[in-house]
Amino acid sequence: RGAVGRGRGVKSMSKSMRVVLLGPGLVGRAVCNLLKSSRSTHAARHGLDFKVVSLVDSSGYVATKEGLSDEVISAALSWKQDGNKMKDFSKGGAAAEMKAAIAEIGLDSSTCVIDCTGTDATTPFLVDALAKGCGVVTANKKPMCCPYTDYAKMMQTPTKIGFESTVGAGTPVVHTLNHIIASGDNINRIQGALSGTLGYLMSGLQEGKPYSEVVKEAHGLGYTEPDPRDDLGGMDVARKALILSRLWGSKLEMSDVKVEPLFPERFASLDIPEFMSSLPELDAEFAQKVSDAESSGKALRYVASIDEKSCVVGLKAVDKESPLGRLSGSDNLVEFYTDIYGEKPVVVQGAGAGDAVTAVGVVADLVRVSQ
């Protein structure tokens, strides 16, 4: 009986899919490694054979129509890891020649473009790739937060685009929202903690640590960006919130999302050392916010709150016994409140960052859009 179970779903023929990878950095490297280690599983269970035909960074590319060998991919990724540009790789070409090289490879239904960059400059390329019948998978949030007109173009073929890793890395937040929508259940609101860095900060504050101490601790451990304001400003959470809002059905723009930064406007113009040395000025204010929440039986969290008409990102006191209230550490957690589930929401929790976890979301999406 066990043998029969293991044999179910095995495919006898493999469909070849060409992969163009934009952004061969840390996440891109993890994606390539996972594709290599999962090759036999993808063939046996899904009938898919993925061939990486191009690696592209902002300087240039390496590409071949037949597919890059594992040795070339490994060498190119190591070249990038050492701080070099793709255009200077032994088999590489400059950005000016990239359009012709990609055209020679061909963008069609047998090709999937993966975006592991962090720029909105890839948006036109992704829109064009989808129009040509390609699959598109993005871990990059910015294209999904583009002007709504471009977003609508990309979503004309929803089965050909995957963006699980834009919210919660590989934790299936986007999948769960799609699942609820497909069921016909009516969603009333969504709220979640969508930043591991800010989750770490909130946990530290709840333990009684001063705001300045926890920020400096997170910065020293590498949990924040080099400039902690990139995390404390809330824009990363705002992008994730907008992605969920649009998937639910809104036509909101990035400018419609209300964002509460965790530092005053006067701190925005300081250089990084000045910013870090000024943080103790905020300790009393944040200690009071935590105390106010505690006195009413609540816990302070940095929350994305989404309903049908609005998207708000900022500090919120939540019930201590709620899933968000019990959350500690750097995990992401999202609560989906619906008619059928009532006040006991569907809850998704897991690691919200990490190269390997993000790659899991990317590759799972790649399989889906390729079938």
Enumerate the active-site residues.
240
Q: Let me know: does 73 contact 28? Beta carbons within 8 Å.
A: no
Q: Could you tell me the CA-to-CA distances from 15 to 42, 109, 133, 271 in Å, in that order?
A: 10, 11, 16, 53
The C-alpha atoms of residue 354 and residue 351 are separated, in whole angstroms, by 8
Q: Annotate 30-92 with three-state secondary structure.
A: HHHHHHHHCHHHHHHHHCEEEEEEEEECCCEEEECCCCCCHHHHHHHHHHHHCCCCHHHCCCC
Distance from C-alpha of 345 to C-alpha of 232, rounded to nearest angstrom: 28
Answer whether 119's CB lies under 8 Å from 84's CB.
no
Q: Are 203 and 329 in contact (CB under 8 A)?
A: yes
Hey, which residues does 115 pair with through a beta bridge? 22, 138
